Amino acid sequence: MKSASKPALSLSQQNAIRLTLVFVLFEILTALAVVFFLLLPMARGAASDLAGLMVLSTQTWSELPPETRPAFERELAASHGLFLATHPPTIAARILKGGPYLRLLESELTRRAGTAVSLASTDKAGETWHWVGLHSGGRILWVGFSHTRIGPQPVAAGLSTLASGLVLAGFAAWWLARRTVAPLERFGLAAAALGRGETPELLPETGPRELAALARCFNELSSQVRDLLDARTTLLAGLSHDLRTPLARMRLALEMLARRPDPAWTARLDQDIEEMNRLVGELLNLARGLGQEAAAQIDLADLLEELAARARESGTEVLLRGPNLQLVVPPAALRRVLANLLANAQRYAGDSPVELRAEPGDGACRIGVLDRGPGIPEDQLESVFRPFHRVESSRNPATGGTGLGLAIVRQLAQANGWRVWLENRPEGGLAAWVSVPRPPA
């Protein structure tokens, strides 16, 4: 049987371990640099000075008259912490306790004395003393000093610094990991809620640039998913509603045909079937609105002239305004957007002319379809882009469409990175605008 795999470490734990290892490596490198470039030269200098003082003290003591030697010993102890003895001290074991500094001192004493010299350590009243025997004046003089005279403890300082650094590194790693992971945890919870079909709250777009960008992208995605779900609900509700009327008429026509065959009822059946076919076709067009089409360079004036010519065939007067421009866009998508807007304007413009206008701007071209119809209430200028939404109070219900034309326009515009909006004209009528990015010159 395969053993169960160990659970993976959390991001906080991984970051804590990485930061701790990096800090330990930094501490080791720093300690080595301080030891080799600062402490070791200072220790060598201090050991050389102390070794010279010890050798000089024994030589001076040997050269002094016997009656002045006690005073010299007292002065040496008081000023330099060195003690002289003519007899070897009681040393239980010749074990050197003191680390690298005493070894440097031992090397300096050997160099100055010309013979091998060994330091010995002893404990006296709970205090460590270091002694060395030096030849002077035909005899051996013992020079000793307390371990407290050495002062600095580099090993202890390094260990305490490393320990405190590890504690600080662990705390810093935990704090930084929490600040990094907390937004990701919120993102995970929001993504799980979105996957369940719920509508999560918008994530705060704050913090580091990458996390703020991630939150902004997720909020946009959440809004798009919510819009798609709303559109799906609206499509299903609108489809079921709009299909009931032709189905009811078809049922009535079938009953009348069963009682009394009449070509008029057959024609009505054909009209209802065509209406249902048109409704289903527009729904399929709306569903395909997000399909991507390759961009190509087009002549905007030729496209507008083509759309105007088709509109004139139905008796609508169409005016063209604007310079000749070259655009790099998906041709079929732009033609479909403008054709839907033009058909919408024809439906409500009455006998008034419709104007197709192109206005170049900085980095974008604005294409407008302007009519002199009744317009749209200001509070519904955005609502009309929802599927099956109709403004019955201001549009003629006898000539109203399925309510999918503007929804298709908005979806195509969003899929291609265009901006589309409606605005009422001050002198009356409606202006529908599409902003299309222009290629750089």
Stretch 105-131: mean pLDDT, rounded? 83
pLDDT at residue 44 tops 80:
yes
- pLDDT tier for residue 347 given thresholds of 50, 70 and 90: confident
Which of 156, 191, 217 is at the close of a domain? 156
pLDDT at res. 369? 93
C-alpha span between 190 and 184 (Å, rounded): 10
**Tokens 């008029």 belong to residue:** 264
> Where is mean pLDDT largest: 119-128, 166-175, 294-303?
294-303
In this structure, what are the phi and psi dihedrals at residue 206, rounded to the nearest 5 degrees?
-125, 175
- pLDDT tier for residue 269 given thresholds of 50, 70 and 90: confident
Work out the percent of the chain whose per-residue pLDDT is above 70.
Answer: 81
**Tokens 């799906």 belong to residue:** 232
Stretch 374-398: mean pLDDT, rounded? 68
Picking from 378, 408, 407, 415, the residue whose alpha carbon sits closest to that of residue 393 is 378
Cβ contact 431:417 at 8 Å: no
Q: Could you tell me the CATH number of the domain that includes residue 302?
A: 3.30.565.10
Is 424 in the same domain as 319? Answer: yes
CA dihedral 259, 265, 270, 273 (to 10 degrees): -60
Distances (CA, A) of 432 to 334, 356, 385: 14, 10, 12
Cβ contact 407:381 at 8 Å: no
Which range is least confidently modeled, 133-137, 140-144, 248-252? 248-252
Is 51 in the same domain as 139? Answer: yes
Q: How many domains does the chain have?
A: 3
Distances (CA, A) of 169 to 30, 31, 164, 166, 208: 15, 16, 8, 5, 21
In the chain, helix, strand, coil percent, each to 5?
Answer: 60, 15, 25
Structural domain includes residue 193: no
Structural domain includes residue 362: yes
C-alpha span between 11 and 42 (Å, rounded): 44
pLDDT at res. 305? 92
**To 5 degrees, how large is the angle CA 404–CA 408–CA 409?**
120
Stretch 199-224: mean pLDDT, rounded? 80
Is 377 in the same domain as 423? Answer: yes
Residue 250 one-letter amino acid: M
Structure tokens at 71: 């005073």
Structural domain includes residue 97: yes
Element (H, E) at 299: strand 296-299
Please write the tens of the pLDDT for every residue from 278-289: 777 766 665 555
Is 121 in the same domain as 140? Answer: yes
Structural domain includes residue 47: yes
Which of 129, 156, 183 is at the close of a domain? 156
Q: How many Cβ atoms are within 10 Å of 108's Cβ, its own excluded?
A: 21
- What contacts 126, CB < 8 A, 6 or more positions away? none
Is 423 in the same domain as 339? Answer: yes
In this structure, what are the phi and psi dihedrals at residue 196, rounded to the nearest 5 degrees?
-80, 0
- What contacts 137, CB < 8 A, 6 or more positions away? 59, 62, 63
Picking from 106, 53, 55, the residue whose alpha carbon sits closest to that of residue 79 is 53
Cα Rg of the chain (Å, integer):
47
In this structure, what are the phi and psi dihedrals at residue 145, rounded to the nearest 5 degrees?
-150, 155
Burial 20-39 (b: 16+ CB within 10 A, else e): beebeeebeeebeeebeeeb
Is 145 in the same domain as 243? Answer: no
C-alpha span between 187 and 202 (Å, rounded): 10
Structure tokens at 433: 């605008």
Stretch 97-107: mean pLDDT, rounded? 76
- pLDDT tier for residue 151 given thresholds of 50, 70 and 90: low
Structure tokens at 251: 């049922």
Specify the higher pLDDT residue, 163 or 7: 163
Cβ contact 134:54 at 8 Å: yes
Is 271 in the same domain as 296? Answer: no
C-alpha span between 27 and 151 (Å, rounded): 23
Is 404 in the same domain as 315? Answer: yes
Stretch 297-307: mean pLDDT, rounded? 90
Structural domain includes residue 282: yes
Work out the percent of the chain whose per-residue pLDDT is above 90.
Answer: 8
Structural domain includes residue 191: no
- pLDDT tier for residue 356 given thresholds of 50, 70 and 90: very high
- pLDDT tier for residue 291 given thresholds of 50, 70 and 90: low
Q: What is the pLDDT of the chain when averaged over all its residues?
A: 79
- pLDDT tier for residue 195 given thresholds of 50, 70 and 90: confident
Which of 242, 264, 290 is at the close of a domain? 290
Q: Could you tell me the CATH number of the domain that includes residue 150?
A: 3.30.450.300
Residue-number span of the structural domain to which 80 is assigned: 11-156
Picking from 203, 75, 61, the residue whose alpha carbon sits closest to that of residue 138 is 61
- pLDDT tier for residue 423 given thresholds of 50, 70 and 90: very high
- pLDDT tier for residue 368 given thresholds of 50, 70 and 90: very high
pLDDT at res. 390? 64
pLDDT at residue 400 tops 60:
no
pLDDT at res. 393? 44
- pLDDT tier for residue 230 given thresholds of 50, 70 and 90: low
* Spacing of C-alpha 430 from chain mean position: 43
Is 270 in the same domain as 326? Answer: no
Stretch 42-58: mean pLDDT, rounded? 86
Q: Could you tell me the CATH number of the domain that includes residue 285?
A: 1.10.287
pLDDT at res. 333? 82
Structural domain includes residue 176: no
Residue 84 has what DSSP assignment?
E
pLDDT at residue 440 tops 80:
no
pLDDT at residue 246 tops 80:
no
Is 297 in the same domain as 228? Answer: no
The model's pTM is 0.47
- pLDDT tier for residue 394 given thresholds of 50, 70 and 90: very low
Structural domain includes residue 161: no
pLDDT at residue 395 tops 50:
no
Specify the higher pLDDT residue, 82 or 186: 82
> Which residues lie across from 326 on neighbouring strands?
299
Is 41 in the same domain as 141? Answer: yes
Is 296 in the same domain as 277? Answer: no
- Terminal CA-CA length for the chain: 68
